[in-house]
Homo-oligomer: A and B are copies of this chain.
């Protein structure tokens, strides 16, 4: 990679999970708009065919790009794919949607309803158990082949994935990215527009202090042009008890997942701090407050996302992929709303900026133990991503967060030791799992059984 005249040439990006249809296409679109970077994107996927199809699609994007700076190639060998990488992007699906069906729907038999099931609670714990061993392999490969590459993670459970990279290779330069905070910045921007009579406030103009675990992130401060937005938000939280719906987001991933922010406002009324993730995620970190039954969720105006819907959606994407590869449907360049490319450019030295990321705590949240992967702002600059000091978390919110810190520690320990006991303790400590110990054991056992094809590294006698 060379930096020249404020341009970065020959940038090498390795995409692990390069056959994916969501995040990968987002990146392709964003790269096609980019004229300060050029180079090669290597798509690695265990599904080589999918990666190859994406090579075709990626090259289609480049054809209609003005700058035409990137070429795409597929690779079947992880370590080979990493050679020379400046950036490694990871976005994989651990297991198939069948396993996710177990994660999300198996607990329903025991009265546990999950709106997403990929981060915390029974679903999140099992997804972590499946994913982490793959990440151990990836971390070892990065350590051996591309130790100086910057690693950007998109896979959930975000925090545990980033954490295991550091556990295996402490010198890794990794961080995790998530757009959930953006949605709350958008909400604040809309409220500020109304309040101040300003036309179009961009989300990046909403300055926030971010603290928490991914998908359970909180804003202890928010300002527009130096003006505190908390009074505004407080007013909204009182006014919109029945929720407020923003115009549908521009990102496919959020589009079907809209909420009316009822959970966010309810949490604010209790804690006086702004919860900064989608309501579907927030609800899963709490006890049964918003998810006791599907009706409870309904009354808070957010949906439980069934895995069957994900399967349908996947079929649609596969069809889109087929048509794009065959040329039936042309690709279309549009901004994804993600920040990956902007982050890469900052790391390459093409402009500093501040955004929220997931990295191990070194004190950026001063009342959370060190080592836990937390979400705060960070300053991106040349070859540097440094967390911004965010102070102490609100003690009430921290108390809500404790079981999830515990859970992160536990799944990491399960992965590193191959024992399921730590994960089971996290399972029964999780506020969503309020079962008799006997039922908890049964449910855990069923979920192990359902997903055992992806739990091969573990001693299944927990």
Contacts and interface: CB of A to CB of B under 8 A. Distances in A.
Contact of A362 (B290, B366, B436): B366
A438 B288 CA distance: 10
Interface in A405-425: 406, 425
Report, nearest first, the 4 A-B pairs whose CB atoms are least far apart.
A226-B382, A389-B389, A226-B383, A363-B366
| A contact residues, range | 35 or more
B364 A389 contact: yes
A431 interface: yes
20 contacts: A3-B225, A207-B384, A226-B382, A287-B431, A288-B434, A289-B440, A290-B437, A292-B434, A292-B436, A299-B438, A363-B363, A363-B391, A363-B392, A386-B389, A387-B389, A388-B389, A396-B406, A399-B406, A399-B429, A400-B429
Contacts of A223: 382-384
Contacts of A402: 399, 402
Interface string A432-462: 0111111110000000000000000000000
Contacts of A30: none
A366 B366 CA distance: 8
Interface in A248-304: 266, 270, 287-290, 292-293, 296, 299
Given A223-B383, A363-B391, A386-B388, A433 B403 contact: no
A187 interface: no
A115 to B, nearest CB: 14
Given A289-B428, A436-B290, A388 B379 contact: yes
Q: Copy number of this protein in the oligomer?
A: 4
A2 interface: no
A383 B383 CA distance: 29
Interface of A: 3, 207, 209, 223, 225-227, 266, 270, 287-290, 292-293, 296, 299, 349, 354, 362-364, 366, 379, 381-384, 386-392, 395-396, 399-400, 402-403, 406, 425, 428-429, 431, 433-440
Contacts of A366: 362-363, 366
B362 A435 contact: no
A390 B366 CA distance: 12
A434 B434 contact: yes
A354 to B, nearest CB: 8
B436 A293 contact: yes
A164 to B, nearest CB: 19
A299 B436 CA distance: 11
A366 B390 CA distance: 12
Nearest to A288: B434
Nearest to A297: B436
A292 B299 CA distance: 25
A383 B379 CA distance: 19
A390 B266 CA distance: 35
Contacts of A428: 287, 289
A381 B379 CA distance: 14
Contacts of A364: 389
B381 A288 contact: no
A437 B289 contact: yes
Contacts of A270: 425
A326 to B, nearest CB: 43
Given A266-B437, A399-B402, A382 B225 contact: yes
Given A207-B382, A289-B428, 8 more contacts: A209-B386, A223-B383, A288-B435, A288-B436, A362-B391, A366-B366, A387-B389, A431-B434
A274 to B, nearest CB: 17
Contacts of A396: 406, 425
A184 B455 CA distance: 39
A290 B399 CA distance: 23
A328 to B, nearest CB: 44
